[in-house]
């Protein structure tokens, strides 16, 4: 009789594909990016912004727009983890309150899909990407152009907001998930795999295919 086939060893955890969503919170423009990581390889799936300038001064309407768009992106790309930039403490208290609410709504959208999140200080993000915590937005964007293949985005004027979000996602990749335990949870993709009946409750979009 032929010898029984041995099961193939499972791939190393760091070689399994992982989708990371990066967010740079804002009350007028919020940057977002999604990257797929496989080992040390990073593919940019998309990076763009949620532009809320046309929504006027109604902050509640803007928060709903953030929440709705975050859910659309989550259901389309099925990210495993969310990395979000912590608000920068400025002198305008009202602006800080609004920015904190925008960040909280983005986090709430992720948590509603069982996605763990991690916050990173702006200086930590810049340090991870450029080597200096005092880098400008332009310097961050320049370094990302040097290290990644960036697809075009619709509005050139929003490029820096989108690349800021991309830097947050890349910063989290560089940490290799060491901070992910602070929020617990599991990925939305894993949740759908365990609960296929919930698939109909999403937008019906499929996860973007990995680039070869």
Mean pLDDT of the chain: 81
Is residue 161 annotated as a catalytic residue, yes or no? yes
Least confident of 52-61, 65-74, 123-132, 190-199: 190-199
The per-residue pLDDT for range 43-79, each reduced to its tens digit, is 999 999 999 999 999 999 999 999 999 999 999 999 9
* Active-site option among 48, 76, 81, 85: 85
For helices 159-174 and 137-147, give the axis angle rounded to 10 degrees.
60
24 is catalytic: yes
Domain range list for the chain? 16-201
Residues of each annotated binding site for Mg(2+): 24, 85, 161
What CA–CA distance (Å, rounded) separates 192 from 35? 20
Q: Give the domain 16-201 fold.
A: Nucleotidyltransferase; domain 5 (3.30.420)
Active-site option among 76, 80, 161, 164: 161
Which DSSP state fits 87?
P
pTM: 0.77
- Reported as a single tens digit per residue, the pLDDT across 73-102 is 999 999 999 999 998 766 578 888 899 999
- CA neighbours closer than 13 Å in the CB half-sphere of residue 107: 19
Residue 129 has pLDDT above 80, yes or no: yes
């Amino acid at each position: 009789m032929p010898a029984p086939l041995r099961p193939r060893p499972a791939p190393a955890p760091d070689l399994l594909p992982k989708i990371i969503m990066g967010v740079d919170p804002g009350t007028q423009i919020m940057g977002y990016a999604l990257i797929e990581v496989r080992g040390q390889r990073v593919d940019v799936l998309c990076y763009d912004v949620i532009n809320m300038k046309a929504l006027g001064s109604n902050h509640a309407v803007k928060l709903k727009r953030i929440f709705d768009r975050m859910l659309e992106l989550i259901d389309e790309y099925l990210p495993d983890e969310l990395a979000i930039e912590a608000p920068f403490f400025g002198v305008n208290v009202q602006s800080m309150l609004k920015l904190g609410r925008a960040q909280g709504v983005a986090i709430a959208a992720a948590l509603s899909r069982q996605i763990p999140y991690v916050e990173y200080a702006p200086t930590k993000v810049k340090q991870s990407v450029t080597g200096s915590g005092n880098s400008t937005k332009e310097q961050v964007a320049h370094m990302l152009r040097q290290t990644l293949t960036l697809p075009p985005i619709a509005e050139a004027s929003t490029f820096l907001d989108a690349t800021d979000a991309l830097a947050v996602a890349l910063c989290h990749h560089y940490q290799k998930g060491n901070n992910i335990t602070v929020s617990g949870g599991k990925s939305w993709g894993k949740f759908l795999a365990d609960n296929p009946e919930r698939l109909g409750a999403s937008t019906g979009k499929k996860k973007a295919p990995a680039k070869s």
